[in-house]
Chain A
Amino acid sequence: MPPTLIAEQLLNGLQLGLMLFLLAAGLTLVFGIMDMINLAHGSLYMVGAYLAAAVTEASGSFLLGIAGAIVGTALVGVALEVALLRRLYRRSHLSQVLATFAVILIANEIVRMIWGSQPILLNMPAALSGPLEVGGFRYPAYRLVVIGAGLAIALLLYLLVTRSRAGMWVRAGASDREMAEVMGVDTRTLFTLVFAIGAALCAVAGALLGPLLAVQVGMGENILILAFVVITIGGIGSIRGALVGALLVGLIDTAGRAFLPFLFRQMFPAVVAAEAGPAVASMLIYMLMAAVLFFRPTGLFPARG
């Protein structure tokens, strides 16, 4: 196997991992601080992608599209939090599951009413559509930009949560909400703020992945499951866990799909390899999650002691 192919797949894995981190970060904070299972997180990702496509189409600028998606999705997120989710914080996890599942159904249908059932197009900027060549190694320029943006945002978020005062409140809320309230943290405003940031991160992921994947109704559900896998592996409520989990899932999933079929062909007869290769590749991240939970039943970096 040529080293350039391996490098390419590693970069693809890094890119998937960083985008998953953007989704998982909001999810794990909402979950960790508010003890809230928000299945509608994937819907915010979908809304972000659609808004990015709409604004890009209208303005002709991809950057404006991303900005519009961030602002619009954050507003949708705040509206959702204030109108509905706020009422659910003190309810059981099961009520939250039912309510946010209902939000998924409603969001999907509203998007379908506005934009139709067919996938819509979100084109990457023309300047980035070609490959970038470094010493004979070619890699799509747009994917490099996505990786760069993902790294920058991940770093920013990490600093925000671990170094800033607001981040300290967030971490305090995640490890013990009542104690944080007693110490004077205004958790009500904090919740809304965290939710807005989570929604904005969804929008970034949706806008950046839009040109690579299809922008369509239901795009949020499958990636939501992946994001849940990420935060479970990382430990719910932990931003560091979300980062490690996202990179693990991104790299292992991509590498598995790229290399396992090849590896199996070397080890097993062709008939077995043709069936087992893709199957095991799809199962890898779930095997990883089951294995992590087997040895560490609360994930790699549990936020609560």
Chain B
Amino acid sequence: MRDTLRIPLEPWPTLAVVAGLALLPAVALAVGQPFYVVFATRVLIYALIATSLNLLIGYVGLVSFGHAAFVGAGAYTVAVLMMAGVGSAWLLWPAAIVVAALLALPIGAISLRTRGVYFIMITLAFAQMVYYLVVSLRVLGSDDGLTLGARPSLGVVALDRDTSFYYVALAILLAALLGMRALLNAPFGRALQGIRDNEIRMEAIGFPTYRLKLLAFVIAGAAAGLGGGLLASLNGLVGPNLLHWPESGVLMIMVILGGTGRLLGGVLGAAALLIAQEALAGQTIHWPLAIGVVLLAVVLFAPRGLSGLIRRGSAGP
């Protein structure tokens, strides 16, 4: 029997891409552009965050317009703990995950009472509340945000070295993608996709749909929190912009651009958007115009996003 929902691993293309990514810092140093290592690290982190949002949008059908709140929660957790003297990433990053998950739990619990467009708007509402709360708190630096003195430490791995940080981010992203694949292939993930396609039927069969959706929402929030913690560690600063609604919007655009409901949709979307910005911003001050035209072209000619272009022949929703 053909298993249509199962996401295959495809070891050879995967290994090729991972090998390519592993060589990237060496190439960047060889061509004398070490700056690109930090840029690539940022792309990897945004890929993680967009992937977490894709879990909600693409696999549960929950269009969250408040994902920046969880990114910000993770980032500010790392910043505050570092200012309090905690320097170990082994403590900081799990703390970012826990705080983001604890924030996602009540927000999800209330937001999941609504559906469709109303869900989009209520998640926005909560994210905006978190934003204004952070802006108003002087301990969190108000409008200016917080500046971290140094990068956290991670045992033997020196995160101060950009290349080391890159490999850590790459390892975390790969682990997250493997984890998400396992989750989606497991009964839990299949139930989520069932809810996306027909929630009432899933309810009728006896699935506790509300609890399953809430669990997915908390998992996605936690992963976004980890992404936020990584961003704070990488950049050495956090600001309220990280929590504001345009950030949530950009994350959503990344997911739609890459392809909703595809395992690599978030990765492709984040990479495409950030690389396009980086490449075009150097050429013209009117680079958003070019991005707009490209996005329009994707909507009109590639309805399934970029991942739909790459794997046109494969089965899937």
**A residues engaging B (CB < 8 A)?**
31, 37, 84, 87-88, 91, 93-95, 97-99, 101-106, 108-110, 112-113, 221, 225, 228-229, 232, 236, 275-276, 278-279, 282-283, 286-287, 289-290, 293-294, 297-299
Contacts and interface: CB of A to CB of B under 8 A. Distances in A.
Given A98-B299, A101-B253, 14 more contacts: A87-B300, A94-B256, A97-B253, A98-B256, A104-B292, A110-B289, A275-B136, A275-B137, A282-B136, A283-B129, A286-B126, A290-B125, A293-B114, A294-B110
B118 A97 contact: no
B117 interface: yes
Contacts of B200: none
B298 A290 contact: no
B117 A232 contact: yes
Contacts of A228: 121, 124
B291 interface: yes
B129 A94 contact: no
Nearest to B138: A275
B113 interface: yes
Nearest to A113: B286
B114 A95 contact: no
Contacts of B295: 98-99, 101-102, 105
A105 B252 CA distance: 15
Interface string B254-286: 001100100000000000000000000000001
A105 B277 CA distance: 12
Contacts of A290: 110, 122, 125-126, 129
17 contacts: A97-B256, A99-B295, A101-B253, A102-B294, A105-B292, A106-B293, A108-B288, A228-B121, A228-B124, A232-B117, A278-B136, A282-B132, A286-B129, A289-B125, A293-B121, A293-B125, A299-B118
Given A94-B256, A279-B135, A297-B113, A102 B121 contact: no
B22 interface: no
Contacts of A293: 113-114, 118, 121-122, 125
A84 B299 CA distance: 11
B212 to A, nearest CB: 19
Given A94-B57, A279-B133, A293-B114, A221 B253 contact: no
Q: Specify which of A101, A112, A229, A278 lies most central, judged by the most chain B CB atoms within 10 Å of its CB.
A: A101
A109 B289 contact: yes
A109 B126 CA distance: 31
B171 interface: no
B246 interface: yes
A103 B296 CA distance: 8
Contacts of A91: 299, 303
B292 A93 contact: no
Contacts of A297: 113-115, 118
A134 B129 CA distance: 39
A101 B256 CA distance: 11
Contacts of A287: 125, 129
A221 B118 contact: no
A287 B132 CA distance: 12
